[in-house]
C-alpha cells in the first residue's frame, strides 16, 4: 500500500479527508480553506441577495414592468377591481393585489394619462381609503362578536 499523499505527493503517514488520502499538513491546509469558505459564506449570500433582491422580489410577485398600452389599461382595470372586491381585512391576505410599482409602470405606459404622479396618488389614496374602511368594518364586527 502506497503512502503517497494525493495532494503534495510526498511519502508520509496519511489520513482520509474529504474522500482523499492526504498527509497531516495537506489536511490542515484543506481544513483552513474550508473554514474560510464557511466563514465568508454568510457574506457571499448577503452580497448575492442585495444584488438580486430587487429583481427577485419583482419575479416572485410576477410583476411585469415592461407593458404595452393595452396591457397597462388591463392592469389598471384589474387593480381597481381587485382593490374594490376586498370587503373584509381577511380578504386582503389572499387578494392578488397589483403592486405600487406595477401601477406606476402601467400609468407610465399610457400616453393619455398626462399627470402621472397625480394618477398614481389618486389610485393610492383610493386604495388607502378603502383599506381604512375595511379595517374599521372588520374591527366593528370583532367588537360586535365580543359583545362590546
Ligand atoms: Zn500532503
State the 10-residue block means of pLDDT for the chain, 148 residues long. 84 88 92 87 75 57 78 93 85 82 92 94 93 85 82
CA of 1 to the centre of ligand 1 (A): 16
Looking at residue 60, what is its pLDDT?
A: 60
CA of 13 to the centre of ligand 1 (A): 9
Backbone angles phi, psi at 41, to 5 degrees: -60, -45
CA of 16 to the centre of ligand 1 (A): 11
Q: Which long-range contacts (CB under 8 A, 24 or more apart) does 125-130 make?
A: 126/83, 127/83, 130/83, 130/84, 130/86
CA of 36 to the centre of ligand 1 (A): 19
Looking at residue 62, what is its pLDDT?
A: 64
| Other CB atoms within 10 Å distance of the CB of residue 26 | 21
Looking at residue 99, what is its pLDDT?
A: 87
Amino acid at each position: 500500500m502506497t503512502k503517497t499523499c494525493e495532494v503534495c505527493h510526498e511519502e508520509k503517514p496519511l489520513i482520509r479527508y474529504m474522500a482523499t488520502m492526504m498527509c497531516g499538513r495537506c489536511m490542515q491546509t484543506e481544513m483552513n480553506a474550508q473554514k474560510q469558505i464557511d466563514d465568508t459564506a454568510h457574506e457571499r449570500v448577503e452580497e448575492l441577495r442585495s444584488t438580486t433582491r430587487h429583481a427577485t422580489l419583482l419575479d416572485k410577485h410576477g410583476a411585469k414592468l415592461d407593458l404595452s398600452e393595452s396591457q397597462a389599461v388591463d392592469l389598471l382595470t384589474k387593480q381597481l377591481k381587485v382593490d374594490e372586491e376586498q370587503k373584509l381585512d381577511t380578504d386582503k391576505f389572499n387578494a392578488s393585489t397589483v403592486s405600487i410599482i406595477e401601477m406606476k409602470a402601467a400609468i407610465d405606459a399610457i400616453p393619455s394619462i398626462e399627470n402621472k404622479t397625480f394618477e398614481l396618488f389618486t389610485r393610492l389614496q383610493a386604495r388607502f381609503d378603502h383599506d381604512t374602511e375595511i379595517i374599521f368594518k372588520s374591527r366593528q364586527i370583532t367588537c360586535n362578536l365580543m359583545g362590546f
